[in-house]
């Protein structure tokens, strides 16, 4: 299942992301499609690796904890970090947030600890302004949500709306995570909101982005993200039908892997 996630979903979504982010210019539609593709790529890429590690561990008698729990169904950034890369978020809490004082001091100190923890978490990914800003976005949102309290107007809004808003905030953060440097990240954000004029030929990337195969992969990724069960939960009780499906997907992934050249390993730098 992990291999299928990586090859059949993460790779085509990554092709969409690379096309959009590497283009010299793009329209708002292409920019939003590109960052959506990257959001799916980074999720299926890393959750796929985690699934493979969990499966290989089980073969040797080791039980690893769940590392992802439907993060794009989160209803807030606080909820997102309970679901995304659980091993890292647990480490940040246990070895940074709590030693800094956690929520044991004043409210202002708690907000400071949240923001500092996420800033350091951003620096852990790389020493650049992009990662610092990414950490700052998440740290600032964690502090703002804590300041708002559990009973606030936002919590009374429909759940699909809360999930959608959270996903958009996460996507805006991914722009800084994916872009090569700060100027390109800011330029990409400007394109997302139509703040830059399009030069002649800017729509040429549409022919690459909107290929049927890539759009089908993007739609399938969205279906799995928001309607599918988590691999960890789905495989807790294996039936013959599930085993056959897993084997079929594994072999299909191997066939596709052998016939395509685009197989990025985006987490090797971390």
DSSP labels, the chain: -HHHIIIIIIHHHHHHHHHHHHSS---HHHHHHHHHHHHHHHHHHHHHHHHHHHHHHHHTT--PPP--S-GGG-SSHHHHHHHSSHHHHHHHIIIIITTTTTTSS-HHHHHHHHHHHHHHHHHHH-SSHHHHHHHHHHHHHHHHHHHH-SSSTGGGS-HHHHHHHHHHHHHHHHHHHHSSSHHHHHHHHHHHTT-SPPPTTGGGGHHHHT-HHHHHHHHHHHHHHHHSPPHHHHTSS--HHHHHHHHHHHHHHHHHHHH-S----TTTT-
Mean pLDDT of the chain: 92
Out of 55-64, 145-154, 180-189, least confident range: 145-154
Q: What sign has the CA pseudo-torsion 91, 70, 208, 187?
A: negative
Residue 195 reports pLDDT greater than 90:
no
Determine which one of 125, 146, 162, 203 is catalytic.
125
Residue 212: CB atoms within 10 Å: 7
- Domain extents for the chain? 2-259
> What are the residues whose beta carbons fall under 8 Å from the beta carbon of 93, sequence distance 6 or more?
117
CA 28, 7, 173, 187: dihedral to nearest 10 degrees? Answer: -40
Q: Residue 84 has what pLDDT?
A: 96
* Pairwise pLDDT comparison (260 vs 203), residue with the higher score: 260
Q: Residue 74 has what pLDDT?
A: 97
Per-residue pLDDT band for 199 (boundaries 50, 70, 90) equals low
Q: What letters, b where the CB count within 10 A reaches 16 and e where it falls short, cover 101-134?
A: eeeeeeeeebbbbbbebbbbbbeebeebebbbbb
Q: Residue 16 has what pLDDT?
A: 95
Q: Residue 202 has what pLDDT?
A: 57
Dmax over Cα atoms in the chain, in whole Å? 59
Residue 200 reports pLDDT greater than 80:
no
Q: What is the mean pLDDT of residues 233-242?
A: 91
Question: Which tokens go with 71?
Answer: 């993060």
- Give yes or no: 138 in active site: no
* Pairwise pLDDT comparison (24 vs 7), residue with the higher score: 7
pTM of the model: 0.94
Q: Residue 201 has what pLDDT?
A: 53
Residue 203 reports pLDDT greater than 70:
no
């Amino acid at each position: 299942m992990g291999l299928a996630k990586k090859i059949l979903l993460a790779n085509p979504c990554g092709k969409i992301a690379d096309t959009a982010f590497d283009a010299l210019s793009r329209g708002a539609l292409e920019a939003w499609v590109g960052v959506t593709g990257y959001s799916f790529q980074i999720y299926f890429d890393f959750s796929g690796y985690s699934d493979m590690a969990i499966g290989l561990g089980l073969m040797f008698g080791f039980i690893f904890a769940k590392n992802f729990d439907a993060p794009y169904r989160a209803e807030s950034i606080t909820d997102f970090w309970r679901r995304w890369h659980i091993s890292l978020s647990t480490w940040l809490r246990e070895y940074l947030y709590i030693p800094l004082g956690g929520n044991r001091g004043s409210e202002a100190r708690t907000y400071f600890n949240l923001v500092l923890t996420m800033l350091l978490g951003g620096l852990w990914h790389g020493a650049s302004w992009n990662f610092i800003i990414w950490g700052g976005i998440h740290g600032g949102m964690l502090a703002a949500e804590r300041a708002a309290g559990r009973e606030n107007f936002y919590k009374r809004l429909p759940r699909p709306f809360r999930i959608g808003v959270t996903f958009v905030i996460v996507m805006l953060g991914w722009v800084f995570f994916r872009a090569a440097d700060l100027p390109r990240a800011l330029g990409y954000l400007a394109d997302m909101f139509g703040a830059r004029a399009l030069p002649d030929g800017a729509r040429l990337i549409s022919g690459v982005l909107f290929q049927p195969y890539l759009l089908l992969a993007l739609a399938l990724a969205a279906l799995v993200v928001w309607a599918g069960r988590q691999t960890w939960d789905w495989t807790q009780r294996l039936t013959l039908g599930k085993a056959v499906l897993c084997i079929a997907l594994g072999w299909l992934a191997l066939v596709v892997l052998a016939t395509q050249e685009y197989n990025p390993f985006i987490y090797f730098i971390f």
